[in-house]
Structure 1
Amino acid sequence: MTDTETLRAHIATVLARARDRTHTLTDAVDETDLIAQHSPLMSPLVWDFAHIGNQEELWLVRDVGGREPVRADIDGMYDAFQNPRRDRPQLPLLRPDEARDYTRVVRDKVFDVLEANALKGHRLVDEGFAFGMIAQHEQQHDETMLATHQLRAGAAVLTAPPPPASRAPVAAEVLIPGGPFTMGTSTEPWALDNERPAHAVHVDAFVIDAAPVTNGQYLGFIEDGGYDDPRWWSDAGWRHRRTENLTAPAHWHPDPGGWLYTRFGVTRPLIPDEPVVHVCFHEARAYARWAGKRLPTEAEWEKSARFDPATGRSRRFPWGDDEPDETRANLGQRHLAPAPVGAYPRGASALGVHQLIGDVWEWTDTDFHGYPGFTAFPYREYSEVFFGDKYKVLRGGSFGTDAVACRGSFRNWDLPVRRQIFAGLRCARDPRPGEAG
């Protein structure tokens, strides 16, 4: 098999994996659930489904393939920038059966385009970039649909085996040495524009938690009155806490026997050593201040994840350059929950930091901006229009993030008030006198 044939087979595999997951998420519920808006923060599931097909048609059928449109009449309806999520239920959306037929026709044409394309010759198709971009796009919407499932009311419809138990003790903190490292990438073939280009960044020595903050640790903040004490909150965070009456992470419920948590329609006692999830940036920052620490910057997070002190290079993933598998990270909706601390010792970074990939997205205290030398590609609306001080960067992926859309350089972003995403945190701090050597 030639290199091009190998790449073509790989693309077909990741596209099929994404579509299988899309079908799992949409086939799990009836038509009423598909067309309903389960939260004003989210689209109806059927909008996401058809939008996935429309983006695939725009980029791969029409642009890469040069083929005639399948449904040019629906382009505006499935343009995310033209139609805010709260307005999408009022649109004349494709019915679930129409969405299934449409996405199937588009996918058949995409495989024809893939078979005929040389996967080289110009930037959009070099090394299969456009196909990889679309696979990532579908998986990102699949994670969004998974978050919609978490917000829907009713009986559980999704199933998965529990994550593995803790397999190794994890240190409380890790000292990360000061000095330069290479942040971002110029070589990852399917990296998106905001991950590029690779550039040297100097980071002073700092200390970072060796694992994400757990439910048990976060419970200490609640029981100490953290939600009632403005000392721990920024002005904006305190206003938001009061306006929204936040008293605990989303989906937590107080109970005489202890706290309960509802996940995908199932309510169970809180698991103390599981990473906390569904906290907004303001909650994450308040917890860190209460703990006598702070949130890491994005550069600190990436150095913890990628820097190899033995070679001085930045790895693709914390454990090295090999692709993620089930022994290294909790990704891909393989499980429907974060794994307890210590569940993936093979996934630790060279510096000894655990579970940086998968489980929960981690808030950083960095606004979303382009790197020095940033160039929008292939369109400004993916990243550039979100640059500024409104959005905070999240890193690392969650149990709902697929491996194709997660790597050591991958950047996510959201508004600091958002809690529907599968986001948690880990803390950092400056070294104490003499601690950095």
Structure 2
Amino acid sequence: MTAAPAPDGAELRERAAGALLAARARTRVLTACVDDGELHAQHSPLMSPLVWDLAHIGNQEEVWLLRAVGGQQPLRPEIDTLYDAFRHARADRPALPLLTAPEARGYVADVRERVMDVLERTPLEGAGPLARSGFAFGMIAQHEQQHDETMLITHQLRRGPAVLTAAEPPPAGPDAAALPAEVLVPGGPFTMGTSTEPWALDNERPAHPRLVPAFFIDTLPVSNAAYLRFVEDGGYRERRWWHPAGWEQVRREELAAPLFWRCEGGTWVRRRFGVTEEAPPGEPVLHVSWFEAAAYAAWAGRRLPTEAEWEKAARHDPSSGRSRRYPWGDADPTPQLANLGQRHLRPAPVGAYPRGASPLGVRQLIGDVWEWTASDFLPYPGFRAFPYREYSEVFFGGRYKVLRGGSFAVDPVACRGTFRNWDLPERRQIFSGFRTARDADSA
């Protein structure tokens, strides 16, 4: 197989510009659909005011693209500490002297205009590691898209009428009902992580061999209907299924179902972006914590897949022995392959996107819902922090669990077969679901 020629400077510049423009277009959608009062409001102590996210996006863009890459003097050095995510907890941010909504919009627009000039002038071929292949521009596009996902979570948490709209996702494939419940992933080594993806972040690197014993993994994400069986079987009342910290959360917060669910007249309904609707039985379950996912898996006599198992199921091609960029191959995602990019405001039904299946037939590994894994967030062998420790390194350890695969709220620029997300195991507001696994010798 002949390798594709490396993109030249013009192609790299076009890709970077396109990623930055797409992210900004989405940011405008998420901030223009509510008035300035709602932009300044804190809709949940778990989240920042939307206006903080907006100015933070601009500040990070200024720090990395105007100052670090462009060598320019700071535009607003006095706001750096206000928009330092490590300096102020989310619950405390409304009390800060933040930029007003008009000031924030003006600031991010000014930064972006200057950034496009820096992009035009910066050599991307043979450049230093920050600019090489447009890495810093791709990093900032991913950063903005990640905050767009955060802002979409805030929209889900806000009270009031719906302000966002989107087309419905495609239905399940015609063969969905006939799919096997699980797929056997053969044991053996595979290549995990990447050393060649130009915009991969530091925690995805380097590529390294990983030996994974044979295991079975669900063909599809766990559905609302399947999870409801756990709920109605008393799963939230049985301590034996739960991690001790998870059981403590269940008791403390009186949990009885996924976040945003409630039972009305014997029917389970959910709130979704300002609309109350019956929880669709055929959709992947959404807004469950790691504790809830692990409890369901224990109740079902299964377990969560490890991160290495998840990535092998998503990337390994048994016929060639190589690891693909995505389950379907090396081509970038399209609307026919995965539910990404806020194109739809919900997951597609389980069994959708047959063209996006892995070589072994596992579906919806990319998009729809973030999938909890059993693994703690840890560095790969040979990890090196780049370009700053606070992106990944400070989160390594046993506190955070890894999620993989992205969700309907994730843009393709921030979602790859190697992309790693992480969060605290009690988190429920994120767009998280899961699938289960079991050892091959447990039959």
- Indicate the TM-score class for this superposition, using the shorter chain for normalisation: over 0.9
Q: Which of 162, 167, 188 lines up with 1:161 in the alignment?
A: 167
State the partner residue of 1:357.
366
Residue identity opposite 2:16 in structure 1 = I
Percent identity over the alignment is: 66
Residue identity opposite 2:88 in structure 1 = N
Once the 2 structures are TM-superposed, how far is the Cα of residue 69 of structure 1 from its aligned partner?
A: 1.4
1:15-414 mapped onto 2 (5 Å cutoff): 15-120=20-125, 121-167=127-173, 168-169=175-176, 170-414=179-423
Once the 2 structures are TM-superposed, how far is the Cα of residue 199 of structure 1 from its aligned partner?
A: 0.3
Q: Distance in 2 between matches of 1:333 and 1:94?
A: 27
SS of the residue aligned with 1:243?
helix
Q: Distance in 1 between matches of 2:55 and 2:180?
A: 46
Once the 2 structures are TM-superposed, how far is the Cα of residue 88 of structure 1 from its aligned partner?
A: 0.3
Q: Distance in 1 between matches of 2:187 and 2:14?
A: 42
Residue identity opposite 2:11 in structure 1 = T
User: Number of residues paired by the alignment?
Assistant: 433
Q: Distance in 2 between matches of 1:22 and 1:318?
A: 29
Once the 2 structures are TM-superposed, how far is the Cα of residue 257 of structure 1 from its aligned partner?
A: 4.6
Q: Distance in 2 between matches of 1:417 and 1:271?
A: 24
1:422-433 mapped onto 2 (5 Å cutoff): 422-432=431-441
SS of the residue aligned with 2:422?
strand
SS of the residue aligned with 1:231?
helix
1:159-195 Cα distance to aligned partner (Å, 9 max, x none): 0011111123232100000000000000000000000
SS of the residue aligned with 2:372?
strand
SS of the residue aligned with 2:146?
helix
Once the 2 structures are TM-superposed, how far is the Cα of residue 237 of structure 1 from its aligned partner?
A: 1.3
Q: Distance in 2 between matches of 1:14 and 1:371?
A: 27
Q: Distance in 1 between matches of 2:208 and 2:441?
A: 29
TM-score norm. by structure 2 comes to 0.97
Hey, which bits of structure 1, 4+ residues long, moved more than 3 A? none
Q: Distance in 2 between matches of 1:244 and 1:129?
A: 43
Residue identity opposite 2:358 in structure 1 = S
Once the 2 structures are TM-superposed, how far is the Cα of residue 432 of structure 1 from its aligned partner?
A: 4.1
Gaps of 5+ in 1: none
SS of the residue aligned with 1:326?
coil
Gaps of 5+ in 2: 1-6
Q: Distance in 2 between matches of 1:104 and 1:236?
A: 45
Q: Distance in 1 between matches of 2:307 and 2:250?
A: 24
SS of the residue aligned with 1:367?
strand
Once the 2 structures are TM-superposed, how far is the Cα of residue 300 of structure 1 from its aligned partner?
A: 0.3
SS of the residue aligned with 1:313?
coil
SS of the residue aligned with 2:200?
coil
TM-score norm. by structure 1 comes to 0.98
Once the 2 structures are TM-superposed, how far is the Cα of residue 379 of structure 1 from its aligned partner?
A: 0.2
1:248-273 Cα distance to aligned partner (Å, 9 max, x none): 00001101151111100001111111
Residue identity opposite 2:286 in structure 1 = V
Q: Distance in 2 between matches of 1:180 and 1:403?
A: 27
Residue identity opposite 2:195 in structure 1 = S
Q: Distance in 1 between matches of 2:168 and 2:260?
A: 19
SS of the residue aligned with 2:267?
coil
The answer on whether the counterparts of 2:352 and 2:363 sit within 8 Å (CA) in structure 1 is no
Greater displacement, 424-433 / 258-267: 424-433
Q: Distance in 2 between matches of 1:63 and 1:432?
A: 53
Q: Distance in 2 between matches of 1:263 and 1:89?
A: 25
Residue identity opposite 1:381 in structure 2 = E
Q: Distance in 2 between matches of 1:432 and 1:379?
A: 43
Q: Distance in 2 between matches of 1:130 and 1:213?
A: 37
Residue identity opposite 1:161 in structure 2 = A
SS of the residue aligned with 1:354?
coil
Q: Distance in 1 between matches of 2:180 and 2:21?
A: 39
State the partner residue of 2:3.
none
Residue identity opposite 1:416 in structure 2 = P
Residue identity opposite 2:270 in structure 1 = Y
Q: Distance in 2 between matches of 1:139 and 1:292?
A: 37
